[in-house]
Structure 1
Amino acid sequence: MNRSRFHNTTLYNSIFRFDDEMIINTHVYGFQGAHAPSLHLRRLSAGNLFETYSESFESVWNLAKPATF
């Protein structure tokens, strides 16, 4: 199943989500993505960092259109 989508939003992070884990690749001006910091987040019962990024991801995902390859 193709889960790719396209959107026109301005992003400040690349978010790669896998159920209760995600990788956040921060965008840093003047650096390629491979040279910018990445965060590995897991959903935990304490704290809300995962939920903050999850809500952002879901908002963009809902605006995006399915990719047709």
Structure 2
Amino acid sequence: MEVRLHKTTLYNSVFRFDDEMIVNTHVYGFPGAHAPALHLRRLSSGDLFETYSESFETVWAAAKPATL
């Protein structure tokens, strides 16, 4: 597991695992545990996974590795 830190304003929390991801949408006025979560899988058709994946990769590339 690798953890990186960033200062980007995000509107979702994205947890990616190879060809699957959980996207926890941020809803104003609700804690994260009460907001919808999407379980996405990479498929040969459709682009929702790719849209979130590209966003994740852009933020990840600019983020700094976390240090202890």
TM-score category, normalised to shorter length: over 0.9
Q: Which runs of 4+ in 1 moved over 3 A?
A: none
Find out whether 1:40 has 2:42 as its counterpart: no
Counterpart for residue 68 of structure 1: 67
Report the Cα offset of residue 60 of structure 1: 0.3
Structure 2 unaligned segments of length 5 or more: list them: none
Say how many residue pairs are matched: 68
TM-score, length of structure 1 as denominator length: 0.97
The TM-score, its normalising length taken from structure 2, stands at 0.98
Q: CA RMSD in A?
A: 0.7
Q: Partners in 1 of 2:53 and 2:23 — Cα distance?
A: 10
- Hey, what's the Cα distance between the residues in 2 that align with 1:52 and 1:65? 22
1:26-69, Cα deviation, whole Å (9 max, x unpaired): 00000000000000000000000000000000000001000001
1:20 is matched by which residue type in structure 2? Answer: D
Q: Percent of aligned positions with the same letter in both sequences?
A: 78
Task: Tell me the amino acid that sits aligned with residue 50 of structure 2.
Answer: E
